[in-house]
Amino acid sequence: MNKKEIQKKRMMTYFIDAADEILLEEGIKGITIRKVADKAGYNSATIYNYFENLDHLLLFTAMRHIKDYTSALPKYLKNANNALEEFLAIWQCFCDYSFKEPEIYYAIFFANLNNDLKDYIVQYYRLFPEELGSQPKNVLNMLFKHDIYERGMAIVNKCVDEGFIKKEDAEVLNEMATLIYEGILLRVIKGKIGYDEAVKKTMKYVELTINSLLITN
């Protein structure tokens, strides 16, 4: 990083820190540009020198909260011997961490974001590469995708390549796993299901789905 990039990262971190404090106090819906500016000790106009809009700032703030998930991935994948085991290990890790902070994960992966915001995840990891940890290439490709459907396909396609499922079933598996997860995530947010049950049910239904699509001969 050159001096200009270091300064940019420092300033963005000030605002992310301020937004994160508000998130912990009031929830993600409590974050506004004015509140962040006041807490950071700058005026609102300064924030727009570093973030295009509130959604940009919200995404960067939420991304900080998935650091534990990305850091844990290598441990979950350590004993995975093939793409199928990787698929299940990644889902297990994702469930274990996302159901602890459901609103944040929903904001990252299911909010109605415009197309430009899909590029922000790449920008975030360029500024904070240390948050990626040490990941296999296929997992890195997955982490750089903002869309949860595209993230899922990154590992599902490997299951196809290794002969576990048919190519024509890849999108079916990915969509069903994503729909299962989204539905249970919403139930957690609404307080209709607890953490342990959410993890258990999601993994049960994802495993049932992939087992029904496995190539058996």
Q: What is the tens place of the pLDDT at every residue in 14-61? A: 999 999 999 999 988 899 999 999 999 999 999 999 998 888 898 899
Find out whether 74 and 134 touch, Cβ atoms under 8 Å.
Answer: yes
Q: What is the tens place of the pLDDT at every residue in 83-106? A: 999 999 999 999 999 999 998 888
180-186 mean pLDDT: 96
Write down the mean pLDDT value for the chain: 89
Cβ neighbours, 10 Å, residue 165? 21
Given the structure tokens 């087992």, which residue do they identify?
Answer: 211
d(Cα 107, Cα 105) in Å, to the nearest integer? 5
Fold of 3-63: Arc Repressor Mutant, subunit A (1.10.10)
Q: 167: helix, coil or strand?
A: helix
Q: What are the DSSP calls for 21-50, one per residue?
A: HHHHHH-GGG--HHHHHHHHTS-HHHHTTT
Put residue 32 in one of left, alpha, beta given phi > 0 → left and psi -120 to 50 → alpha. beta
Torsion of CA 139, 61, 13, 51, to 10 degrees: 100
Question: What is the pTM assigned to this prediction?
Answer: 0.83
